[in-house]
Chains A and B, each alone.
Chain A
Amino acid sequence: MPTDALTGLVDRSAFRTRLETALAEWKPDTSGPAVLMVDLDRFKAVNDSLGHPAGDALLRIAAKRLRAAVRGTDLAARLGGDEFAVLLTAPVSPDAAAMVAARLVDLLARPYLVQGQAASVGASVGLAFAEPDCTTADALIGRADMAMYQAKGDGRGRVGFFSAALQQRADLRRQTEQELRAALPLGQLELFYQPQYDLNVGQLSGFEALLRWRHPLRGLVPPDDFIPIAEEIRLISSLGEWVLRTACAEAARWPGAMTVAVNVAAQQFESGRLVGIVEAALEAAGLPGPRLELEITESSLLNDPGGIVTTQLTALKAMGVAISLDDFGTGYSSLSQLRSFPFDRVKIDRSFVNDHAVVRAITAMGTSMGIRTTAEGVETAAQLENVRREGCHEVQGYLLGRPLPASAIPETIARLVGGTDLLKEDT
């Protein structure tokens, strides 16, 4: 049987062959066979810090632990890299299989001594059983894999169990991914705009552009349901480019000098093309730079080797574009981040709208650093009064206006210029 040269376990092809045999011999009235997919957590860190020979030594030890933890009739395999699999031959009860899986998580997470140095990794394990609707090696491996990714997603170092619900979620997810890729070409994306008010002058000052997906069957999909997916499948940069172009074009048609704020994802900085894209969008729309504001989150700055993000932000700022730090308070919220770039604005995350102390602290910090602050998520008159008293410069929230479709904006501006009663100070 073909074996893996490093560990002496069988390799992927031999594992598939043995699994096919086990499935062919399976009588559906017995429990099993089952497949455990085992993936080491943080293995790359061992390779990076102790070197590949130490990593290989760890894999050899892990393989021994794996073999020691299963019955003689079971089959342990190394599928490649730090990925292992176990075939639990029938009969094996669900309880027994779960116990083996839990034991693997425990054993593989114990410390390793490699080349005289201590190393540690964890293991995420996925478990799936042969079922009448899952009788091929690929299908069963696929299910165990899905369960393993579930375990990883739930925080690693644990066992994930395949279930019909897990399959449904994975199917929906795959479908959403495919449809999302087609959403832009099919014209299903549109921008909504939420008003932003300047508290000092008591006037509408601009709008934040918010991406919406009008799905033909599901209706308007909330951003939280598709933006994270777009980021994961690395679609966010092309969506972001469309948002920039569209927002600039639509804002150029608004009466007056209203600003438009556009969210920029961390990935959009990676190609180094953002400055050119913004420049082109402004030029095509005929929108002056100072009417555009880009909102970035702290995560964009967290990983900025070589200062590629700050370099691009500096170039954008030189074009007159304002740069704001979004969702402040939810991430690291560190002073060093606020100092890493001369931000024009900090947006206080909506979750702090009722927290006087936090609003006061961020506003005071912003004011002393010459950075304006915007309170987000203002929904009640009391919250408005609070953030105004604490010195916020701008507000945004349902109290002052929900996000509106582009077609409604010119009329909204006409109606609101001159102020809204909500912003009149009580006298």
Chain B
Amino acid sequence: MTTSLFGIGVSGLQAAQLQLTTTSHNVANASTPGYSRQTVIQTTQVPQLTGAGFVGQGTLVESIQRAFNQFLNQQVVSGESQSASLDTFTAQIGQINNLLADQSAGLSPALQDFFDGVHNLANDPGTSATRQALLGAASGLIDRFQLLDQRLGELASGVNTQIASTVTQINSLAQQIANANQKISLAEASNSQPANDLRDQRDQLVLQLNQLIGASVVQQGNTYNVFIGNGVPIVLGATTQTIGTVTSTTDPSRQEIGVVTSSGTVEIQESTLQGGSLGGLLAFRSQSLGPTQNAVGRIAIVLGTTFNAQHVLGQDLGGALGGNFFNVPGASVTGNSTNLGNAQLGAAFSNVGALTTSDYLIGFDGANYTVTRLTDGTQQVFAALPATVDGVTLSLVSGAPAAGDRFVLRPTVNGASGLTLAITDPARIAAAAPIRTNAATSNTGRATVSAGSVNPPPPPNANLQQTVTITFTSANSFDVTGTGAGLPAAGVAYTSGGNISFNGWTVQISGTPAAGDTFTVSSNLNATTDNRNALLLAALQTQNVVANGTQTLQGAYGTLVSQVGDDTRQAQIASDAQDAFLQQAKQAQQSFSGVNLDEEAANLVRYQQAYQASAKVIQVGSTLFQDLLDAIQ
């Protein structure tokens, strides 16, 4: 009996000691990330059958378990992944949002300054001060375009850098998970007890990995296999698959994610990589950064092209026809680096009003070219080039494409960075119209001639500035003499206010002319105070020249600001909602697995008492034995 008392007492002591150890371990790891509280699984020893029945033999510690719920944990992991993705997206788009937020630094005031400059030129076309001021305002506008583009470019290169560093971290975490797999296999092979702390560490690594990239885990035995994207394995048991960055085949300025193989890095389709900060970065790059850059570029291209078109119809201070005011960058079209054919495609703007902010993918299947607008997936099929898509004319410059070749058309990507001033001499600004009309002072009739206008589109007629004389032969008809197509013309019927067009100009004569009255249209020499072309240039500010005649230049910028603001707000709302969800998932998971110090304090007291009691049992056993010895003496 004494033996069993000792045995039971010792088993109690041992169990209490383990309980105390485990409780201490819980207390010590209360704030260890990923730690699941551990509990001792205690049971009774196999009882001994006696004539009096089953006599208890004390207690037995079966195992030490961690409080871990796979489902709750998965909620936290996917929540963290989504949250990291949205946080990254929000932080990135927030930078564009802040860039556009500053009313004094945005594009809008620079556009306003520029057009104010054109108006001031129209008010006083003869002084060099207003001309110089317009050139200054134009430089300011170009600087603003370039500043915006530069900031967006910095964001893009920042994204590339972050992608590279994230990929390094992913590889490191994959390696650590593989190591943990190996350690757990080894540790659990020797006995059937779970390696609690190692498993916690591995789950924590999976969580950290998910904060970087959405990854799915498949448990096989006691090891984890980890996959990203559409089932690309990065951890299989104790082995890992390295991923890396690779320059995009379509755009040399972009870094794509790929699987590193012995024959090079194979791109993983970007759209399959979701979740985690990497997913957020990729989404930001494709959904916000590119479109913003394109939208700013489109404003620059439309401004430059429409302004030039009017400017070349004017005449500068020296009497020469206007040249281009801006140098407008062209569309970018590049072939994939993996193309088999040697085709070089060219792209030129045919109608800047029809430009979109989208990029386009051009595929050649051996017979047809399929052009896909990337923002909405609209496709157009052409059997041959040249073909026009959304204001851009595509042509085959040289070579021939092979079936399967792909090209990327980015019409407006270079707009903001490439816009420059074409003139530096203030006298070259074409504020005047190249022609003027005159009624002879000797006219006896009561007819007046309009100031005349130059017919768009450019280029102007070669005979535009030839002197043309309109002589009335009666009150109802006139002769036209001069150099140019259709001249001389005799006996033209006169309608008051009707258009009279020759040599690329149009004038109207109205009123009642008398026979012998003459009107001349001639070169506008010395026209230092003519502001007709400047007025037409100024009018471009309020004309709907963007997006198929639906928006003004400033309106297009307003749309961009509102779009980015909207996207940012949506991202913030989604991020807040995700954070709330994550908070709940974490609470549920912590409620199950987390350490509560008060509980542990109570347990300490409880197991201390159990230990003291078991010690008392041994003491009683010892006293009984002493009593027996005393009886024998």
Q: Do A and B bind each other?
A: no
A-to-B contact residues, CB < 8 Å: none
B-to-A contact residues, CB < 8 Å: none
